[in-house]
Amino acid sequence: MSGNLLEVTDLRVTFDVHGRQVTPVDGVSLTLERGVALGIAGESGSGKSLSLKSIIGLLPPNATVGGELRFALDREAPIPYAPADVHGHGISIIFQEPMTALNPTMRVGDLIAEGPKLHKGMGKKEAEERAIELMRLVGIPTPERRARMWPHQLSGGLRQRVMIATALSVEPQLLLCDEPTTALDVSIQDQILGLLQELRTRLNMAIIFVSHDLAVLGEICDRLAIMYAGRIVETGPVDEVFADPQHPYTEALMTSVPSFGATTDKLIGIEGRPPDPRDFPPGCRFAPRCDYAQEDCTSADHHLADVAPGRTTACIHPELIEGLGQ
């Protein structure tokens, strides 16, 4: 079965803050094909995590969600769904901090068995066996022994593996990953990324991976969406976006991080800081920090225009971008 698995149209997340409407996610549209890994890159406050959480209905109660979400599950074409209905039915999520995301009062095996019991109608015995099978699948050594342990007895890497096993226990077609490796050491991060890549191919699962780290996204994703101030500013295949960014923010992000492969003379970084969601600038929200900003940028409407097959940008002057000269 091919075609779109998930379609998000004009997603808007609004909070009521002391009587004022704040919209940290402001018109995000995405489509995701089956088995594809999409990366969403952005800095803190860009709305990337909120977008992810709205897909599975995990927003705080004071949030209002607008726009349309469509999910295909086993059907041919995506149909609208209520986010609360997909828990355990097709979509799972893993979080950044496995210690706070795992229930500390449940043994690891019981945690993983909960999904199969609740959503797959398995009996206690069967679910426990399934848990051990899943622990083996995510590479936890001696799963029979570890299933009896509490989350606090495990290392950070193993906890993250437990969380992945929990997410996989309901056989999702889409795995949402909210910075799952940010809190981990590089060598453990490397192992978890390798594991996710393996599971993805083996289970033909689609992934949305949210991170601030472009290099991490590059290792695991097929497509990339760059978010800034509540909006997607560029999309495209990972390699093409890296090779030839079509939005100044993408380019600036890439020149802000020391590249591992080469000695950099001077990092450029971005002047100023990301805008406050309570006070987004008019027009292109990146314009106040943009090196290429023109007069008409501050009045431009946000619109993702096609620049090449499969590539879009919100920049109205992409021709000005000089490129990275690599």
Partner 1 sequence: MSDFLEIKDVTVTFKVGSTIAARLKGDPPPILTAVDGISFEADRGESIGIVGESGCGKSTLAKAITGLVPVASGSIHLDGVDLAGKRDRATMRRIQMVFQDPSSSLNPSLTVEKMLSELLRVHEIVPREKIPDRCAELLELVELPPSLLTALPRRLSGGQRQRIGIARALALEPEVLIADEAVAALDVSVQAPVLNLLNSLRENLGLTLMFISHDLAVVRYVSDRVVVMYLGRAVEDRPTAELFDNPRHPYTKALMAAAPKFGVKKKPGESALKGEPPSALDLPSGCRFRPRCPLAAEICEQTEPDLTGPSEIERAACHFAWDEAPA
Residues 6+ apart with CB under 8 A from 263: none
Does 44 help bind partner 1 (rule: CB under 8 A)? yes
**241, 255 contact by CB (below 8 A):** no
**Please, which residue, 157 or 172, has the CB nearer to partner 1?**
157
For the CB of residue 213, give the shortest distance to partner 1 in the complex, in Å: 7
For the CB of residue 220, give the shortest distance to partner 1 in the complex, in Å: 6
Does 237 help bind partner 1 (rule: CB under 8 A)? no
The candidate with the shortest Cα–Cα distance to 250, out of 289, 281, 221, 297, is: 289
Give the integer Cα–Cα distance in Å for 323 and 326.
8
Q: Is 19 left (phi over 0), alpha (psi -120 to 50) or beta?
A: left
**Please, which residue, 148 or 273, has the CB nearer to partner 1?**
273
Pick the stretch among 21-29, 59-67, 97-105, 209-217 that binds partner 1 (CB under 8 A). 209-217
**Residues in 107-166 at the binding interface with partner 1, rule: CB under 8 A:** 155, 157-158
For the CB of residue 316, give the shortest distance to partner 1 in the complex, in Å: 21
CA distances from 146 to 52, 98, 151, 162 (A): 30, 16, 10, 10
Q: Degrees (nearest 5) of the Cα angle 167, 28, 323?
A: 100
Does 17 help bind partner 1 (rule: CB under 8 A)? no
Does 218 help bind partner 1 (rule: CB under 8 A)? yes
**Residues in 248-267 at the binding interface with partner 1, rule: CB under 8 A:** 252-261, 263-264, 266-267
| CB environment 181-198: b (16+ within 10 A), e (fewer) | bebbeeebbebbbebbee
DSSP classification of residue 279: G
Does 12 help bind partner 1 (rule: CB under 8 A)? no
For the CB of residue 280, give the shortest distance to partner 1 in the complex, in Å: 16
N-terminal to C-terminal alpha carbon distance within the chain: 39
Residue of the chain from 16, 76, 85, 185 that contacts partner 1 (CB under 8 A): 185
For the CB of residue 209, give the shortest distance to partner 1 in the complex, in Å: 11
For the CB of residue 313, give the shortest distance to partner 1 in the complex, in Å: 18
The candidate with the shortest Cα–Cα distance to 39, out of 238, 188, 200, 192, is: 238
Rule CB under 8 A: which residues touch partner 1?
43-44, 155, 157-158, 185-191, 193-195, 197-198, 200-202, 212-216, 218-220, 239, 242-243, 252-261, 263-264, 266-270, 273-274
